[in-house]
Chains A and B, each alone.
Chain A
Amino acid sequence: MFVNETGIIGTILQTGTESITGSIFISLLIIMIILFSLCIFFNIRLEFSIIIFLPLLISYASYYSEFVPILGAGLIYLTIILSKNFFFK
C-alpha cells in the first residue's frame, strides 16, 4: 500500500510501525480505533461515522486480508441498520 511519509498520518504510520508495533496491520488498526474513539467521544452516531469507516475499511481490506473479517462485521452491522430502518419499516 502506498504511504505518503510526508503527511501526518503517513508519519504516524511509518514511525508507529517501525518503532512501536512492528506490523502495519496493527498500526492501521490502532489508527482506526483512534478515529472510532473520537467519533464516540464527540457523540457522532455510528450510522454517520460509517461514511468515514466504510471507505477506509474497504481500502484497508483490499491491501491487507486481515481486515476482511472486520469489514465483514461492519457490513453485517450496516445490513441490520438498512434492513431495520429503510426497508420494510
Chain B
Amino acid sequence: MSNITFAFSFVMILNVLMFMTQFAMIQANPDSTEFFNFKDSLMDNFDNGNSSNRQIDENTINQQLPSGEGSISPETGNYFTDIFSSIKTWIAERLGIKYFKSMALAPYLLLKAMNLPNAFCFAVGVLWYGCSLFVMILFLFGRD
C-alpha cells in the first residue's frame, strides 16, 4: 500500500468511525457532546443532502469522474488565461483533487472539534499537513 493510499484510507476510516461514534453517543444520551461536524467531513461529499436521513448520493461517482468535456467560461477576456483557468478547474473538480485538499486538513479539523488544546492541534496539524503535502508531491511524480 502506498503512502497516499494509507493517508487517504486513514482519514476516511477515521471520519466513518467518528460519525458512528457520534451517532452511538447521541443514542445513549441525546444531550451528549457533539465532537463531529458532518459538514466539514469527507463524508459530506457522498451525502445526498437530506440531513434528516443520511443516504448515499448515487450520482457521486458521475460527478467526480470525468464524464465529458467542459466549457470555457469567459472570465478575464484573455483567451489563453480563460483556457488555462477552465482546464485547471475541470481537473480539480473532475479528478478528485479536492479530496486531496480535504485530506490534508482533515485531522486538524477533527482534533479541533474534539476540544483538544490549541497547541497540540497545531503541532499535529503541521505534522500531518507537511507530510501529506510531501506524499502528494511524490505521488504526482509517480513515486511512493
Name A residues whose Cβ lies closer than 8 Å to a Cβ of B. Answer: 58-59, 61-63, 65, 68-69, 71-72, 75-76, 78-80, 82-84, 87-89
Contacts and interface: CB of A to CB of B under 8 A. Distances in A.
Contacts, number: 60
A11 to B, nearest CB: 23
Please classify the interface of chain B as helix (H, G, I), strand (E, B), loop, or mixed, using the class held by over half of its residues: helix
A63 B10 contact: no
Contact of A88 (B9, B32, B115): B9
Please classify the interface of chain A as helix (H, G, I), strand (E, B), loop, or mixed, using the class held by over half of its residues: helix
B92 interface: no
B10 A72 contact: no
Given A58-B28, A59-B28, A69-B116, A88 B33 contact: no
A71 B114 CA distance: 10
B1 interface: yes
Given A68-B114, A69-B116, A82 B13 contact: yes
